[in-house]
Chain A
Amino acid sequence: MTVDLTQFHDAFFEESFEALDAMEAALMKLDVGSPEAELVNTIFRVAHSIKGGSATFGFTEIASFTHSLETLLDELRSGTMPVTVALSDLLLKSVDVLRAMLRAVQAKQPIDAQRVSDLQFDLEVAIADKNKSEAVPPAAPGGGLPRPAIHGGSLARIEDTLSVLDKDTALARWRIRFHPYRELLARGNDPLRMLRELAALGELAVRLDAQMLPPLAELNPQDCYLAWSLELPGEVTEEAIKQVFEWAEGDCDLTIERQAAETSDLPASPQAAAVAPAPAAAAVAAAPAVAAAPAVATAAATARADAPTKVEASVSGLGDSGSIRVSVEKIDELMNTVGELVITQAMLSQLGSHFDGPDAEKLRGGLAQLERYMRELQESVMRVRMLPISFVFSRFPRMVRDLAQRLGKQIELKLTGEQTELDKTVLEKIGDPLVHLVRNCIDHGIESPDARVAAGKSAEGTVHLDACHRGGNIAVEVSDDGGGLDKERILAKARARGLVGANDVLSDSEIHELIFLPGFSTAEKTTDVSGRGVGMDVVRRNVKELGGKIDLTSEPGRGSRFTITLPLTLAIVDGQSVAVGTETYIVPLISIVESMQLKETGVTRLSGHSEVLSFRGDYLPIIRLHELFGVEPRSRALHEGLVVVAEGDGRRVGLFVDDLLGQQQVVIKSLEANYGHIEGVSGATILGDGSVALILDVPGLIRAASMRAAA
């Protein structure tokens, strides 16, 4: 039976990219000098699993590269190589190269071989350097661990770890019980290979358990009937052993336990005769200083049960977070069905309210309960799509570090509210705008260390990313403690560009608005970081597309703060239903300023055509929705209907409608899926009675109306 491996490619790529993100995050947290073992392990595991996967799928370049990377990481992991700034740079670059390689393979494009081989060379040089400077030859007798060369790390600390390890390793040997399930071979695992790998870790004692072997006639050659008891010297790390069995996890019963040194003497064991020792096993077994007497052995054997580092590794799942991977389509399907249920429920409620009879009360009670559960169900399903914003924030430590290095600035990045959750679709689209903003803060906001000191501030600037829930919205703030916006320069630039008249006086907020104009940049020199003037306008547009808005406050010398307000989800909008003739439209609440009834005198006609209304000292154009959409209204007289004052793209208009119907949350459905885009309409929704209502897009409406007026 051949398995088409290509069906697993997508999963491999997806997992690899996620793993690389995790690796990058771990690298950023890694302290120079005293790396945390868990972080190093995380990093190692990523390289190891990518190597395994790419080798399986035949991506040889990736496998070869990760092999070099793994070798280097192994040195880090065993503590024989210190973490230096240069090394962590090298590892970060490796993450980049790996990402690029994976992307290239995924897109079936050639890999940038030069870049890869350059970096692989660097990795190998680093490994070679380490081996050269090895101070003490490895495998010092009794010591167990090779003494590392100290490259400026904390000598005392490493000595400490060593002595602790010494005690442990001298005392105990590893006893491994490896009992594969029958289907182990079918899952692509080869026990022989695993035993060889174990043998490479140290002298290995092997005892085969063939009890389960059936008579030849009943034997299925594709099943595994064998089990093994294995012993390894105590110097071997537990991780190294687990690593060997990593791919077999879930396909076998595995116990790894450390036993007291006294009992490790193989001849003392009654089954010793059955043991087939690997070449030098006897010599190692004798290595612990004390030769154990049988009496001692039994005592120690009982003590073994509560041995300190007993590890039950028969884990079928990874068991860390208990999560499953589900495709977005499936969730969308679920959302759709729930949306339908909500509509059906609304329909039933409507029907039930007119019901009469002996059981009418009971029916209404049941319907009310149904409504409550429906709401809960809908919220739960929505929550499935929510992800913490840390998915986006996690890319910034690396970016800030690189940028600060390149620009010669000292910057501390503060991240708060990373656990704030928002819809996956919003999350995917907010990344780029945030990158722009953070870049801007670093490039324009934070001054050079000298300038900061001269201004009486600490040399290190701070960029702060924060996320929090605010009402039904998410607020994401990017702030810095830099120089703030230079209003004079912005104004001068705007005048030079002819965006502002020479004698116009602008308020602060109007000046702030200027930086969101297309093609506006005040950077003295164009760097590759920013200054091309394709930034803030794109940021604003992207945020708008998400149904959000961006605000800016700035204080000279104290810094600036960008606040992005976003809806929790793109799937639901709070809307005001309005009636125009027989049609119902939904106006998003976020666009509405207020609604009012006009007096006959409140409206002025400009040059006979366009109507304007006076609103808080401003004159707003009136858009008659019935004209724009070609619907027959109940009344054409403005004072008989209502005007909804709405805002979009920084402009306010009055929308003339027949009536307001009510506010509700509506599920947004795409019109584009089966039809196409309609100017002034952002989508559609299904109302309680099953009919369709269009959701208005106020900025689009304003554009459409002004085009009509111009035509």
Chain B
Amino acid sequence: MTTNGSHQVLTFVLGNETYGVDILRVQEIRGWSAVTKIPHAPAHVLGVLNLRGSIVPIVDLRMRFALERAEYTAVTVIIVMSVNTPAGRRDFGVVVDGVSDVVDVNSAEVKPAPELGSRSATDYIRGLVSVAERMVVLLDIDRLIGRDLALSSGVDGEEALAASAA
């Protein structure tokens, strides 16, 4: 679907911000249902859900981004995505406030994120792009989530990151 350097991005809202992920990574969008907690997991990994027979971890992006917590309601949405980790493809769901739209993003218009403070705070941001006068933060979910999953499977996070970057 990449034509003329443009690709489709699914945008979603989290607090006051709009974020975007590559549509090809999105498996499905579903409503919120109660999760089963998993022990010793990072706080933002809420638990696991049954997604048509496979067990899928659910990540709360608000907590991941240290935003104020929101109540989970009937309109809370889970976006199920696939992420590439050193251990192979994995599926996981992220809890977001709401899904906005699918937009075409021209690669030439994507601006790099300004470097603020430590590099690792922004290394999961692929870039910023303006869509209909709103700023959309494009996420690199491999870096954002792959690291959590790699950590939980006992692989050293930095190492895994280096491996996935290589």
Write out the residue numbers on chain A whose beta carbons fall within 8 Å of the beta carbon of B152. 675-678
Q: A339-B53, A684-B55 are in contact. Are A676 and B39 (CB under 8 A)?
A: no
Q: How far is the CB of B97 from chain A (nearest CB, A)?
A: 23
A side interface size, CB within 8 A: 29
A74 at the interface (CB under 8 A from B): no
Which of chain A's residues 654-685 have a Cβ closer than 8 Å to chain B? 669-681, 684
Which B-chain residue is minimally distant from A333 (CB atoms)?
B53
Check B54 against A692 for contact (C-beta < 8 Å).
no
Contact of A336 among B53, B90, B151 (CB under 8 A): B53
A690 at the interface (CB under 8 A from B): yes
Most chain B beta-carbon contacts within 10 A, residue among A676, A692, A694: A676
Chain-A contact segment, one of B8-16, B30-38, B65-73, B118-126: B30-38
Task: Give the distance in Å from the alpha carbon of A675 to the alpha carbon of B51 in the complex.
Answer: 13
1/0 contact string of B14-33 vs chain A (CB within 8 Å): 00000000000000000000
Write out the residue numbers on chain B whose beta carbons fall within 8 Å of the beta carbon of A684. 36, 48, 55
Task: Give the distance in Å from the alpha carbon of A679 to the alpha carbon of B153 in the complex.
Answer: 10
Write out the residue numbers on chain B whose beta carbons fall within 8 Å of the beta carbon of A680. 39
1/0 contact string of B35-46 vs chain A (CB within 8 Å): 111111100000
Which of chain A's residues 602-648 have a Cβ closer than 8 Å to chain B? 628-631
Contact of B53 among A583, A629, A678, A686 (CB under 8 A): A686
Task: Give the distance in Å from the alpha carbon of A674 to the alpha carbon of B53 in the complex.
Answer: 12
Task: Give the distance in Å from the alpha carbon of A693 to the alpha carbon of B53 in the complex.
Answer: 13
Check A676 against B36 for contact (C-beta < 8 Å).
no
Check A678 against B36 for contact (C-beta < 8 Å).
no
Q: How far is the CB of B101 from chain A (nearest CB, A)?
A: 27
A340 at the interface (CB under 8 A from B): yes
Write out the residue numbers on chain B whose beta carbons fall within 8 Å of the beta carbon of A674. 54-57, 90-92, 149
B side interface size, CB within 8 A: 27
Check B55 against A676 for contact (C-beta < 8 Å).
no
Task: Give the distance in Å from the alpha carbon of A671 to the alpha carbon of B53 in the complex.
Answer: 12
Check B53 against A675 for contact (C-beta < 8 Å).
no
Write out the residue numbers on chain B whose beta carbons fall within 8 Å of the beta carbon of A692. 35-36, 47-50, 55
A691 at the interface (CB under 8 A from B): yes
Task: Give the distance in Å from the alpha carbon of A302 to the alpha carbon of B152 in the complex.
Answer: 81
Write out the residue numbers on chain A whose beta carbons fall within 8 Å of the beta carbon of B151. 676
Which A-chain residue is minimally distant from B82 (CB atoms)?
A674
Check B40 against A671 for contact (C-beta < 8 Å).
no
Contact of B39 among A340, A628, A691, A693 (CB under 8 A): A628
B52 at the interface (CB under 8 A from A): yes
Q: How far is the CB of B145 from chain A (nearest CB, A)?
A: 11
Which B-chain residue is minimally distant from A673 (CB atoms)?
B54
Task: Give the distance in Å from the alpha carbon of A17 to the alpha carbon of B103 in the complex.
Answer: 53
B5 at the interface (CB under 8 A from A): no
Given contacts A676-B149, A678-B39, 18 further A-B contacts (CB under 8 A): A340-B53, A583-B36, A630-B37, A669-B54, A671-B38, A672-B153, A674-B54, A674-B56, A676-B150, A676-B153, A677-B153, A677-B154, A678-B38, A678-B152, A679-B40, A681-B38, A684-B36, A691-B36
Q: List 25 A-B contacts (CB under 8 A).
A: A336-B53, A583-B36, A583-B37, A630-B39, A630-B40, A669-B54, A669-B55, A670-B55, A671-B38, A673-B54, A674-B90, A675-B38, A675-B92, A675-B152, A675-B153, A684-B36, A684-B48, A686-B50, A691-B34, A692-B47, A692-B48, A692-B49, A692-B50, A692-B55, A694-B38
